[in-house]
């Protein structure tokens, strides 16, 4: 008999909304190296890949039942919640830049101002933000009309989601070190540093992934 689409909440007709629960990292699960909390960052370009890998991993482990014709739509459901997070972060970033200009603060105060605004908005950044996104992806999975059944427990579902996010979002230690060395003349904490750091990390990570692919 198929399990109800409630995961670890068998007594409910649907799981509680994310805002009503506290999502914590899985016990024993460790994110890979990250130089600073804000170095763990979600990028728009990799959202489709994250959504694809989440759905693929969940199906391969038979934690969910999704018809082949509904896979793309299910991926879009997960991607939508990540895009929403990015939109909210972009608004905070813009507010931080405006705050610097309005208060005539030095550029290296950007990261501090952004964190302060995020705290006021109760918006998680860095590793806390990734954990928040993982919880929202889990919620989107339960809310999706394109997921027929969910058989996995909450912990099993989160394990797959966390592993996919860790794979795509954490920065390789050597790449982090090389990028920071290349940007040593820019003020760390400034908008320019953050923007250039993220761009270079994405580029070097992409090159490393291409180099690791087998050639026939």
Predicted TM-score (pTM) of the model is: 0.71
Q: What is the pLDDT of residue 189?
A: 73
Query: What phi and psi values does residue 127 have, to the nearest 5 degrees?
Result: -65, -35
pLDDT, tens only, 7-26: 443 333 344 333 333 344 43
Higher pLDDT, 149 or 108: 149
Indicate the pLDDT class of residue 212, thresholds 50, 70 and 90: low
Judged against a pLDDT cut of 50, whether residue 163 lies above it is answered with: yes
What was the pLDDT predicted at 107? 83
- Encode pLDDT of 191-211 as tens digits: 788 888 878 887 887 776 666
Q: What is the pLDDT of residues 70-123, one digit of tens each?
A: 999 999 999 999 999 999 999 999 999 998 889 888 888 888 999 999 999 999
Q: What is the DSSP string of the chain?
A: -PPPTTTT-TTSSSPPPGGGS---PPTT------SSGGGS---GGGHHHHHHHHHHHHHHTTSEE--GGGHHHHHHHHHHHHHHHHHHHHHHHHHHHHHHHHHT--GGGHHHHHHHHHHHHT---HHHHHHHHHHHHHHHHHH-TT--EE-S-HHHHHHHHHHHHHHHHSPPHHHHHHHHHHTTTS-TTSHHHHHHHHHHHHHHHHHHHHHHS---
Residue whose entry in the numeric block shows the structure tokens 């070097």: 204
Domain boundaries, the chain: 42-170, 172-216
Question: Which residue is listed with tokens 């509680």?
Answer: 16
d(CA 187, CA 167): 28
């Amino acid at each position: 008999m198929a399990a109800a689409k409630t995961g670890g909440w068998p007594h409910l007709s649907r799981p509680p909304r994310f805002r009503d629960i506290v999502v914590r990292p899985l016990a024993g699960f460790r994110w890979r190296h990250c130089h600073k909390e804000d170095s763990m960052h979600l990028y728009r370009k990799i959202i489709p890949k994250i959504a694809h890998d989440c759905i693929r991993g969940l199906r391969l482990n038979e934690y969910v039942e999704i018809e082949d014709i509904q896979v793309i739509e299910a991926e879009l459901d997960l991607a939508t919640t990540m895009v929403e997070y990015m939109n909210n972060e972009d608004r905070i970033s813009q507010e931080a830049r405006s705050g610097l200009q309005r208060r005539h603060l030095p550029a290296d105060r950007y990261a501090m101002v952004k964190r302060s605004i995020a705290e006021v908005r109760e918006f998680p950044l860095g590793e806390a933000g990734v954990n928040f996104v993982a919880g929202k992806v889990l919620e989107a999975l339960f809310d999706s009309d394109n997921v027929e059944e969910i058989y996995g427990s909450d912990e099993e579902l989160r394990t797959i989601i966390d592993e996919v996010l860790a794979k795509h979002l954490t920065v390789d230690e050597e790449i982090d070190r090389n990028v920071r060395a290349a940007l040593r003349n820019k003020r760390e904490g400034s908008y320019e540093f953050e923007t250039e750091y993220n761009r270079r990390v994405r580029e070097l990570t992409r090159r490393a992934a291409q180099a690791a692919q087998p050639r026939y």
